[in-house]
Amino acid sequence: MHLGSSTAGEVKNSPLVLISSPVGLYIFMSQRLYPTMKTVSRLLLLATFTFGPHLGFSQSTEEWAAGILKAIERRQAFPALADQAYNATERQAYQVQKAVVERLVDEGDEIVGHKAGLTSNSAQARFDAFEPVAGTLLKSHVKNTATFVSQRRYRGMVVEMEIGFELKLSIRSAPRDLEDLKSKVRQVYPIVELPNILFEPDDRIGVLDVIASNVAAATVIKGRPKPFENLDLAAVEATLTRDDEVVSEGVGSDALGDPWEALMWLVRNRLQEGYEVKRNDLLITGALGKVVRAERGRYVADFGELGRVTFTTR
């Protein structure tokens, strides 16, 4: 638009300037074109439906990642931004996740695996998701069984029972089928994950926020490894107790119907997102049974023939 020698007052009252916003459109139409209140009300309703979806802000990848990194550094809630940003996409959310992970690696951490989340219908429904989500495991996340986890460090900590897979070969292209995938796996683990589900505002968390936060990765506890050849992982039954009281029960098929299917999805996602899926990586495949909020006490996750994971929180 060429303004020529127009004065500031002329520019301010220019029709093109006025109609550049919903409020401006309302003022312009009401004052210049349609004097009756009935018609103006109709125009205001039209403006609301026309411009309403675009009244959010455009959140840059860098700003979004900076907010998440600040939350990690200060042990604060992750910012729930996706619902407020009119153009946020899954593609951008994974770019934010990658930027966060790269910064943490630059600061001395190390990628040691990957995680799948929202692998049950109930978890997907909670976040209005249509498929699982994936994140990255860092060396600082992983502990061995019989450990202690501080609740003071993670105020939004929840407890999930999962099954983990350790690779014996790097995967550079999507496996042809499950048999091909199994040929890349060395052994399996009973796993307890304690993600930090803490967002602000907590009533506006969307699936894109979960993705961008690196799927809230915080702590992963490994049991002892087991060979998988004689295990039916979909049929593994898992029970979680806190101070000898049962707080959750699940079965391997809770993760996409079969942990192997969940692993296949995770591998394909990570390759698609440009990550290396490397020898010795640990890949965990989503919650079995109910996810419970962490409370003080001694926990035992019993996976039957797959083994146990124990830890204490306070």
Average pLDDT in the chain: 85
- Is it the case that residue 1 has pLDDT exceeding 80? no
Average confidence (pLDDT) over 151-155:
92
Range 61-313 classified under CATH 3.30.70.100 = no
Residue 212 pLDDT class (50, 70, 90 cuts): very high
Residue 131 sits at the vertex; the CA angle it makes with 178 and 220, to the nearest 5 degrees, is: 75
- Is it the case that residue 161 has pLDDT exceeding 90? yes
Average confidence (pLDDT) over 34-48:
39
Q: Which helix (H) or strand (E) holds 222?
A: strand 219-222
User: Within 13 Å, how many C-alpha atoms sit on residue 251's CB side?
Assistant: 6
- Is it the case that residue 245 has pLDDT exceeding 80? yes
Average confidence (pLDDT) over 251-266:
98
With contact defined as beta carbons under 8 Å apart, do 82 and 201 qualify?
no
pTM: 0.81
pLDDT tens track for 116-146: 999 998 899 988 899 999 999 999 999 999 9
Residue 86 pLDDT class (50, 70, 90 cuts): low
- Is it the case that residue 11 has pLDDT exceeding 90? no
The Cβ of residue 239 has, within 10 Å, a number of other Cβ atoms equal to 18
pLDDT of residue 203: 85
The Cβ of residue 187 has, within 10 Å, a number of other Cβ atoms equal to 15
Q: If you write DSSP's letter for every residue of 227-289 in order, what string do you get?
A: --TT--GGG-EEEEEETTEEEEEEEGGGTTTSHHHHHHHHHHHHHHTT--B-TT-EEE---EE
- Is it the case that residue 262 has pLDDT exceeding 60? yes
User: Among 70, 117, 71, 64, which Cα is nearest to 87's?
Assistant: 64
Q: CATH 3.90.850.10 region(s) of the chain?
A: 61-313
Best-predicted range by mean pLDDT (65-69, 119-123, 204-208): 65-69
Contacts of residue 37, defined as CB under 8 A and 6 or more positions apart, other chains included, come to: none
With contact defined as beta carbons under 8 Å apart, do 80 and 202 qualify?
yes
Average confidence (pLDDT) over 84-93:
84
Rounded percentage of the chain residues whose pLDDT exceeds 90: 74
With contact defined as beta carbons under 8 Å apart, do 164 and 284 qualify?
yes
pLDDT of residue 58: 60
